[in-house]
Amino acid sequence: MTMNTRRGLAQQRFNGSPPEYNIAIVGALGVGKSALTVKYITKRFIMEYDPDLEGTYTKHEDWDNLDLVVHLMDTCDKEDSDPARYLKWADAFVTVYSITNRQSFETAREYVENITQFLKQNSRDCPVALVGNKIDLERYRQVSKAEGSALSVELECLFYETTAAEEYDYVATVFSRLITEVHAEKYGVPLQPLFIAEERATPRDPLHVRQRPKSPKGPATEKKDEKNPQKKNFSKLFKIFN
């Protein structure tokens, strides 16, 4: 069976159109929502963004010959903005705080509580991840990993620590898990390759490699190496990458 036939068969399971996932990224200003969005979309770290811009970005993933379409909303909450725009839209939520900013951790709690309350009121069940970002700045850490983990247990959500400034795998791990969970919820079947044992290629993409069982919840592996990120200025013109 050719690669194209396998892809066709895989796609047929979803009426010919690729499965889609809407993921909203929320949190206080400056925690790295835009940086994590860009990292996931382009695998690159970009230092500066326009803090007032909110945008939705799309990425196609290849999951063992199945096309997946992932839409990310990099949110930007203002005093008068209505969170319903992403609460209603999203299939999953990434609530980001910076491990170097305790206030952002408190804000993340409020975000997760509001999301959970909205989901409950609307009888919806969506995965929510609490994400402590900027672990490359370990020396400035204000929120311990144990505190992040304890809050996720209390709020009954997933927990990861990440960095947008280092390896892509930190970020891929979070999205891989959310996509897997959303898929099961939205399409009623686990996200798994069309199983043709003798022809199955060795999975290489991080999405596949990082696929995890449903439980237990747990943080991504922490890495202590420090690197100097590129010192460049960009605006949200990275939108052109889509």
Ligand X SMILES: Nc1nc2c(ncn2[C@@H]2O[C@H](COP(=O)(O)OP(=O)(O)OP(=O)(O)O)[C@@H](O)[C@H]2O)c(=O)[nH]1
Q: Which of 26, 35, 179, 207 binds ligand X (CB under 6 A)?
A: 35
We find the least distance from the C-beta atom of residue 212 to ligand X, in angstroms, to be: 22
**Binding of residue 34 to ligand X (CB under 6 A):** yes
Rank residues 27 and 127 by Cβ distance to ligand X and give the closer one: 27
Residues 58-77 as x/- pattern, contact with ligand X by CB under 6 A: ------------------x-
In terms of CB distance, is 31 or 68 closer to ligand X? 31
Q: Between residues 34 and 149, which has the closer beta carbon with respect to ligand X?
A: 34
- CA quadruple 169, 170, 175, 180: dihedral sign: positive
Which one, of 27, 51, 29, 47, lies nearest residue 38 by Cα?
47
Instruction: Tell me if 222 sits within 8 A of 161, measured CB to CB.
Output: yes
Nearest to ligand X of 48, 199 (CB atom)? 48
Residues 131-170 that bind ligand X (CB under 6 A): 133-134, 136-137, 163-165
Q: Which of 6, 19, 33, 219 binds ligand X (CB under 6 A)?
A: 33
The verdict on whether omega for the bond into residue 216 sits within 30 degrees of 0, i.e. cis, is yes
Rounded CA gap, 108 and 48, in Å?
A: 22
Near ligand X in 168-227, by CB under 6 A? none
List Cβ<8 Å contacts ≥24 apart for 74-78.
Answer: 74/25, 74/33, 74/34, 74/37, 75/24, 75/25, 75/26, 75/33, 76/33, 76/51, 76/52, 77/26
Q: Which residues bind ligand X (CB under 6 A)?
A: 27, 29-35, 47-49, 51, 76, 133-134, 136-137, 163-165, 229
